[in-house]
């Protein structure tokens, strides 16, 4: 699928909460610092055998952002989304008439699998008749999005996209398609993922977590990823709508392309990247840097590195997951937020820790300053063959 370039879609506001911080200033500072990880082990009904290193939100205090009212029955995923929207878009909702407020579309691989697992665990441990019925709504994957619609009286649209690794970028594509179809002038879209016991247990069982406890996208010695969590949302609108309300434009979503690569041989990755460039009306040589989807997977990173080297042999490559961890459905949107931050600060952030890559692609390890790329390419490639790329145009 390729989107039309006839109608320009722009980003006029963004907000994110992750291990990089809770404000744009936090993110800008964290991207220039050494990556920091924490540890998780206890999850209510369950406890990991050993502490797991991850990029977690150790100081996340939703009450400080949202207040206490209405949070008692909300789970972590919902609080994470509400805090992100509250931080970046509270004034927008309060100053916009209810019938003109933007719809909300959020991508998430799991929603709150912690709520699902805990609800079942509670029934097993304490009996089905003793579970808290107020906990059941949290088990529905669209609960975070719906709670955001309720809190901010957004009636235009309430959508949840659950397509695994690519959920966040799919939510952005859905929102752009929704606007271009004439259903709305603007949408709030993004990605959300929480760290949970059940996700970690599944990852450990499948052997995708880094045994060495390191995050080395494209590294020669990579052995898997470290999990992360976070949420990033964006206000997307037509350029005409933005001009009508005198909104400052941060960036333009210039082009997008999605495809499926059944053979996992890199052809799909190449098709997504070239298709996104074609959709934006630019040649691959115009891309100032590539935001890679690499997460330390031995196979996945190799496929992406070869595809990037084929199309962008000399283009700088940013690997933001080195500082956010693998956040599944939120990863692509967090990478988009990082790319926007770098563009605003005239730099391309490095991985923060040097390691051998074999030189297949031009990975940025030490932050490059005083650069101002006009276009950036955001990748989101999954282990099941789904490939998506987005071209971002700097409008500042």
Local confidence pLDDT in tens for the 396 residues of the chain? 444 446 899 999 999 999 999 999 999 999 999 998 999 999 989 999 999 999 999 889 999 999 999 999 999 999 999 999 999 999 999 999 999 999 999 999 999 999 999 999 999 999 999 999 999 999 999 999 999 999 999 999 999 999 999 999 999 999 999 999 999 999 999 999 999 999 999 999 999 999 999 999 999 999 999 999 999 999 999 999 999 999 999 999 999 999 998 888 999 999 999 999 999 999 999 999 999 999 999 999 999 999 999 999 999 999 999 999 999 999 999 999 999 999 999 999 999 888 999 888 999 999 999 999 999 999 999 988 999 999 999 998
Q: Which residue has the tokens 């282990």?
A: 383
| Same-domain pairing of 175 and 286 | no
Q: Please report, for the domain that includes residue 217, its CATH number.
A: 3.40.47.10
Question: Residue 359: what pLDDT?
Answer: 86
| Same-domain pairing of 386 and 295 | yes
| Same-domain pairing of 178 and 222 | yes
| CA-wise closest residue to 337 among 390, 384, 279 | 390
Which tokens sit at 132?
Answer: 């808290």
Total domains in the chain come to 2
Considering the domain boundaries, does residue 4 fall inside one?
no
| Same-domain pairing of 178 and 36 | yes
Handedness of CA 313, 316, 322, 328 (dihedral sign): negative
3-state secondary structure of 252: strand
| Same-domain pairing of 110 and 38 | yes
3-state secondary structure of 260: strand
Contact between residue 172 and residue 252 where contact means Cβ atoms under 8 Å apart: no
Dihedral angle of Cα 367, 371, 374, 379, to the nearest 10 degrees: -10
Q: Which of 209, 244, 279 is the last residue of a domain?
A: 244
3-state secondary structure of 140: coil
| Same-domain pairing of 147 and 233 | yes
CA 258 – CA 269 distance, rounded (Å): 9
| Same-domain pairing of 220 and 289 | no
**Terminal-to-terminal C-alpha distance of the chain:** 28
Considering the domain boundaries, does residue 249 fall inside one?
no
Considering the domain boundaries, does residue 194 fall inside one?
yes
Q: Which of 244, 269, 300 is the last residue of a domain?
A: 244
| Same-domain pairing of 361 and 383 | yes
Considering the domain boundaries, does residue 384 fall inside one?
yes
Helices (H), 233-324: 239-244, 267-280, 298-311, 321-324
Based on DSSP, count helices (H) and strands (E) in the chain, helices before strands: 12, 14
Considering the domain boundaries, does residue 1 fall inside one?
no
Considering the domain boundaries, does residue 375 fall inside one?
yes
Considering the domain boundaries, does residue 152 fall inside one?
yes
Question: Residue 1: what pLDDT?
Answer: 41
- Which residues are registered as beta bridge partners of 386? 260
3-state secondary structure of 54: strand
CA 119 – CA 114 distance, rounded (Å): 8
Contact between residue 57 and residue 44 where contact means Cβ atoms under 8 Å apart: no
CA 332 – CA 192 distance, rounded (Å): 10
| CA-wise closest residue to 76 among 212, 229, 222, 269 | 229
Question: Residue 2: what pLDDT?
Answer: 42
Q: Which of 244, 269, 292 is the last residue of a domain?
A: 244
| Same-domain pairing of 262 and 121 | no
Which tokens sit at 50?
Answer: 């050993």
Task: Find the domain containing 123 and state its range.
Answer: 9-244
Question: Residue 262: what pLDDT?
Answer: 86
| Same-domain pairing of 329 and 388 | yes
3-state secondary structure of 49: strand
Question: Residue 370: what pLDDT?
Answer: 96
| Same-domain pairing of 231 and 301 | no
CA 226 – CA 370 distance, rounded (Å): 31
Handedness of CA 340, 346, 351, 355 (dihedral sign): positive
Considering the domain boundaries, does residue 3 fall inside one?
no
pTM: 0.96
| Same-domain pairing of 237 and 317 | no
Which tokens sit at 322?
Answer: 């080195």
């Amino acid at each position: 699928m390729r989107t039309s370039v006839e109608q320009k879609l722009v980003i006029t506001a963004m907000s994110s909460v992750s291990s990089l911080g809770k404000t744009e200033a936090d993110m800008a500072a964290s991207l220039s610092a050494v990556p920091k990880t924490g540890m998780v082990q206890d999850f209510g009904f369950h406890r990991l055998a050993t502490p797991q290193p991850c990029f977690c939100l150790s100081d996340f205090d939703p009450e400080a952002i949202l207040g206490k009212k209405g949070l008692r029955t909300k789970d972590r995923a919902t609080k994470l989304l509400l805090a992100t929207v509250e931080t970046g878009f509270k004034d927008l909702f309060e100053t916009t008439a209810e019938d003109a407020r933007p719809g909300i579309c959020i991508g998430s691989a799991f929603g709150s699998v912690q709520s699902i697992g805990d609800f079942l665990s509670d029934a097993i441990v304490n009996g089905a008749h003793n579970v808290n019925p107020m906990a059941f709504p949290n088990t529905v994957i669209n609960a975070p999005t719906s709670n955001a619609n309720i809190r901010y009286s957004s009636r235009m649209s309430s959508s949840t996209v659950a397509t695994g690794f690519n959920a966040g970028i799919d939510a952005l594509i859905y929102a752009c398609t929704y606007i271009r179809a004439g259903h709305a002038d603007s949408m709030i879209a993004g990605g959300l993922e929480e760290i949970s016991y059940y996700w970690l247990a599944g990852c450990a069982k499948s052997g995708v977590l880094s045994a060495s406890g390191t995050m080395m996208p494209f590294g020669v010695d990579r052995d898997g990823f470290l999990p992360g969590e976070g949420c990033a949302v964006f206000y997307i609108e037509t350029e005409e709508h933005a001009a009508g309300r005198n909104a400052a434009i941060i960036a333009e979503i210039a082009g997008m392309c999605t495809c499926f690569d059944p053979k996992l041989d890199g052809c799909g990755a190449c098709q997504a990247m070239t298709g996104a460039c074609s959709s934006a009306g630019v040649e691959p040589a115009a891309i100032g840097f590539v935001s890679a989807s690499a997460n330390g997977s031995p196979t996945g990173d190799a496929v992406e590195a070869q595809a990037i080297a084929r199309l962008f042999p000399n283009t700088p490559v940013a690997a933001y997951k080195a500082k956010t961890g693998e956040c599944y459905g939120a990863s692509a949107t967090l990478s988009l937020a990082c790319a926007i931050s770098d563009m605003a600060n005239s730099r391309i952030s490095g991985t923060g820790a040097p390691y051998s890559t074999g030189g297949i692609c031009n990975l940025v390890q030490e932050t490059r300053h005083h650069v101002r790329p006009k276009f950036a390419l955001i990748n989101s490639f999954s282990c099941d063959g789904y490939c998506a790329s987005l071209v971002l145009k700097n409008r500042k």
